[in-house]
Structure 1
Amino acid sequence: MSNARAAHLTRRGILAAGGALGLGAVLAACGDDDKSGGSSGKGTTAADSGPWSFKDDRGTTVKLDKAPANIVAFVGVAAALHDYGVEVKGVFGPTTTKDGKADVQAGDMDVSKLTVLGNAWGQFNVEKYAALAPDVLITTMFDAAGTLWYVPDESKDKIAKLAPSVGISAYDRQLTVPLQRVWALAESLGADLTASKVVDAKKRFEAASTRLRAAAKAHPDIKVLAGSAAQSLFYVSGTNLSVDLEYFKALGVNFVEPSASVLKKSGGWYEDLSWENVDKYPADVIMMDDRSATIQPADITEATWKKLPAVQAGQVIARSPEPIFSYDKCVAMVENLAKALETAKKVS
């Protein structure tokens, strides 16, 4: 994805088919697995005794006199921390929908109580950020260069001067790695990881993964395609860079995807197809990008889409290209794919 950025594919490329991206913002504009820990405690509002430090996935170690109390995070990271009992003061990224409800990436957070610094790609209110007196900014990364997700290039230097940042990589690794990294981060911030809800979520995720592995083994002929819909294009994802697809593939899921030479044009992420050619890759199950910036299956009116065998068979499920990295939130995405494989008819 660093190549995609360098080539100024903007973030359209990433989002579209599978890494991640503020596609909606683009369209609107167009018309080491090192687990670091530190402080103890039950939350971030109470000052912890002793210094806090965390080594992020850029290899950068952030050191503070005490655990950060004023945390600002990308909405998906904030949602994951919320599941572990760690609350943030401000968020950026897709937080609310047009009707004011919680975006899918906001998880279980009460968005009415959050200070939203920007709700779309390129939006980040630096003045409002400064007013929060942030101790740390936390977000994900979707390239090898350590680019902080949803932190605008034009204001990143100003933002960096106000507080240190922590980056969790969601690039070219399996889902379990960022899950473990956010787990370690939450622990360092005072989360109680022995809480029954937390322990149960981790067990449910592991059980779902076992189920998916068994389903993939029992139905090796079922072909799965990961797609994303925009007004004029349909994006087909490759599986080698996205954390969810890499994990599912490792569990044995049979993905149909573009060749490496075709994917190379997008930095390895996807192939874009016209709607006329949406049937290029026969599939039995289609996983569709569930982010609010993309067109959802029920709203796709293209006749070529409606004629796809998987669509006619009702074998279309949701996919979260930008997962909320808590075990609780990742259970459903694994279970849904397992169920789809278990029940799918061979239609391709």
Structure 2
Amino acid sequence: MSNPGAPQHTRAALSRRGFLGAGGALALGALIAACGGDGGDKSSSGGGSWSFTDDRGEKIRLDARPGRVVAYVAAAAALYDFGVDEQLVGVFGPTKLKDGSPDPQAGDLPVDRLEIIGNAFGEFNIEKYAALRPELLVSNMFVDDELFYVPPESKDKIYGLAPSVAISAGSVPLPKPIERTAELAAALGADVKSDKVTADRRRFEKAAERVRAAAEEKRGLKVLAASASPDLFYASSPDKNTDLIYLKELGVDIVVPEKLDQAGYFENLSWENAGKYKADLILLDSRTQALQPKDLGDKPTWKELPAVKAGQVVPWQPEPRFSYAGCAPILEEFAAALQSAKKAG
């Protein structure tokens, strides 16, 4: 996905970006109970078998817990945060930058030991994937029945090599995909009640309360989530992107675009119309495929936006990794930005 408010699902339109949302705090104890303990989720069976029901409603059944997992990079990074490690053998999606350093979406993944079977949208080397002898494929799902970064034209061949798990990442508040990722991690044998995960969860919950308090104090301050490309300025919907859904639940006044794309993630605006929505604070897509403020000097309408004039533009990661460790810093940074922002219009 290369553009902002929506992920790469609506084919051409979505091939430029993608967004996510947010949600509420989670009770880890209840989450573990739902995992069914050691071997799967609430629908897993005993003995040596393994099962997990994903967000498509599909129940994956295997003779044993999968030991070779290939995942979309952000999903892999989130699983790693929850303690899944040696089972991860391959990733696809933005993993390394041009200089060879890890892409921000890779989080803390040990990317140098993982096989990268595709580093950009549309890239998925099926031969490399098959050579990994995958036992499970994991990806986020922004559009029903579509695994993110799995090429639609090759999906039948890819799905024929190993069962797949989809984690819903669209139209749900942020805590939901975090919860589901934790359930999958527990099913894969990770200790999601570890001291680290518990501390990460507490940090996430504390950050959410900071956002709630800042939103109350700055009531009436308008926030626009957006992404920039050479030809278009994308205004993102707080009803589709998981983090935006959550920020809205926490009381943040987020601009709601009027004419959304087919999937409902964002509105395409020409640069001439970039000022259609007035905002005091702009969250700007910070992913490597999106243009950054330093790239927008030749866009007169950008420089005239009230938030830009006021210096109130902050980085936004529309594709957070769905773990407490991945999302707590995002909420902390947003809370600080909101706390310091002033009316700009």
With the shorter chain as reference, the TM-score category is 0.7 to 0.9
Match of 2:342?
345
Native 8 Å contact 2:117 2:125 kept in 1: yes
Q: Which moved more, 1:269-278 or 1:118-127?
A: 269-278
TM-score by length of 1: 0.87
Cα shift at 1:194: 2.3
Q: 2:290 aligns with which of 290, 294, 303?
A: 294
Distance 1:303 1:57, change over 3 A: same
Q: 1:283 aligns with which of 274, 279, 284?
A: 279
Matches of 1:35 and 1:156, distance apart in 2: 30
Instruction: Say how many residue pairs are matched.
Output: 320
Cα shift at 1:38: 5.2
Match status 1:274 vs 2:275: no
Cα shift at 1:299: 2.2
Q: Structure 1 stretches of 5 or more lacking a match?
A: 21-32, 42-47
Cα shift at 1:220: 1.0
Native 8 Å contact 2:173 2:245 kept in 1: yes
Match status 1:335 vs 2:332: yes
Matches of 1:229 and 1:141, distance apart in 2: 23
Matches of 2:145 and 2:279, distance apart in 1: 34
Match of 2:24?
none
Match of 2:110?
110
**1:241-267, CA deviations, whole angstroms, 9 ceiling, x for partnerless residues?**
1111111101110011212xx12x433
Matches of 2:209 and 2:16, distance apart in 1: 29
Match of 1:179?
178
Matches of 1:235 and 1:166, distance apart in 2: 30
Match status 1:13 vs 2:11: no
Distance 1:14 1:71, change over 3 A: same
Match of 1:199?
198
Match of 2:75?
77
Higher helix content, 1 or 2? 1
Letter in 1 for 2:11: T
Letter in 2 for 1:81: L
Native 8 Å contact 2:95 2:103 kept in 1: yes
Distance 1:150 1:310, change over 3 A: same
Matches of 1:10 and 1:78, distance apart in 2: 23
Matches of 1:11 and 1:249, distance apart in 2: 28
Letter in 2 for 1:197: K
Cα shift at 1:212: 0.6
Match of 2:43?
none
Cα shift at 1:312: 2.4
Match of 1:305?
302
**1:199-248, CA deviations, whole angstroms, 9 ceiling, x for partnerless residues?**
10000000011111111111111100000010111100111111111111
TM-score by length of 2: 0.87
Distance 1:191 1:55, change over 3 A: same
Match of 1:65?
63
Match of 1:98?
98
Match of 2:240?
241
Native 8 Å contact 1:225 1:236 kept in 2: yes
Match of 2:26?
none
Identical pairs, percent: 49
Q: For residues 206-245 of structure 1, what are the structure 2 equivalents within 5 Å?
A: 206-245=205-244
Distance 1:11 1:182, change over 3 A: farther
Q: Which moved more, 1:308-317 or 1:112-121?
A: 308-317
> SS of 1:77's equivalent?
helix
Q: 1:323 aligns with which of 305, 320, 323?
A: 320
Match of 2:137?
137
Distance 1:293 1:100, change over 3 A: same
Distance 1:17 1:195, change over 3 A: closer
Native 8 Å contact 1:239 1:245 kept in 2: yes
Distance 1:173 1:9, change over 3 A: closer
Matches of 2:74 and 2:112, distance apart in 1: 16
Native 8 Å contact 1:39 1:52 kept in 2: no
CA-atom RMSD in angstroms:
2.2
> SS of 2:225's equivalent?
strand
Distance 1:213 1:14, change over 3 A: farther
Q: Structure 2 stretches of 5 or more lacking a match?
A: 1-5, 22-30, 41-45
